[in-house]
Amino acid sequence: MGFFLLMLAAIFSLFGAFFHGVIGGRLYLANINHSSLDALGKSLSLVSWHMFTIFLFIAAIAFALLAFNLISPVAVYPLIVINALGALMFLFLAFGKHKHLLKMPGAYLMGTTAICGYLGITLIF
């Protein structure tokens, strides 16, 4: 069961990386190109956007490696915490002035990834 949950965390993270990087990236790029930011601001904003995409991809790899017992569980605890805090940030902002965030997959994917990752570790080790 632990293996399955860790692989599920990897799949959610990989799906998140694809969704964030490809689909979200296109929407974000269209919005940022129509903004009043200067060229440097647009470039840095795009780099910031894709840094999170890279995090999701690396997290997917780490959860998969842990599922096959190729890395220590200590390596993924920070990824679990980042996913949990990211989900909480989405919810905190959504229940404030940013209600539209509840319609986005971020809180759900990050929360599910954190839960699957944590439960996967506790069931394997």
The predicted-structure confidence for 101-112, as pLDDT tens digits, reads as follows: 999 999 999 999
Q: In terms of C-beta density within 10 A (0-12 exposed, 13-18 middle, 19 or more buried), how is residue 108 classed? A: middle
Instruction: Assess if residue 51 is contained within a domain.
Output: no
Instruction: Assess if residue 31 is contained within a domain.
Output: no
Average pLDDT on 38-42 reads 95
- 3-class state of residue 75 by DSSP: helix
Average pLDDT on 43-70 reads 97
124 to 13, 80, 84, 93: CA distances (angstroms)? 19, 16, 20, 34
Q: Say what the pTM is.
A: 0.93
Instruction: Assess if residue 25 is contained within a domain.
Output: no
Instruction: Assess if residue 43 is contained within a domain.
Output: no
Which residue segment(s) compose the domain that 120 sits in?
2-19+57-124
Residue showing tokens 């569980």: 73
16: its two tokens: 């998140």
Q: Is 1 a residue whose pLDDT tops 90?
A: yes
Q: Is 91 a residue whose pLDDT tops 90?
A: yes
Percent of the chain with pLDDT over 90: 98
Question: What pLDDT, on the 0 to 100 scale, is given for residue 16?
Answer: 95
Question: What pLDDT, on the 0 to 100 scale, is given for residue 125?
Answer: 79
Instruction: Assess if residue 76 is contained within a domain.
Output: yes
Instruction: Assess if residue 106 is contained within a domain.
Output: yes
Tally the domains of the chain.
Answer: 1
Instruction: Assess if residue 49 is contained within a domain.
Output: no
Distance of CA 51 to the CA centre of its chain: 11
Instruction: Assess if residue 109 is contained within a domain.
Output: yes
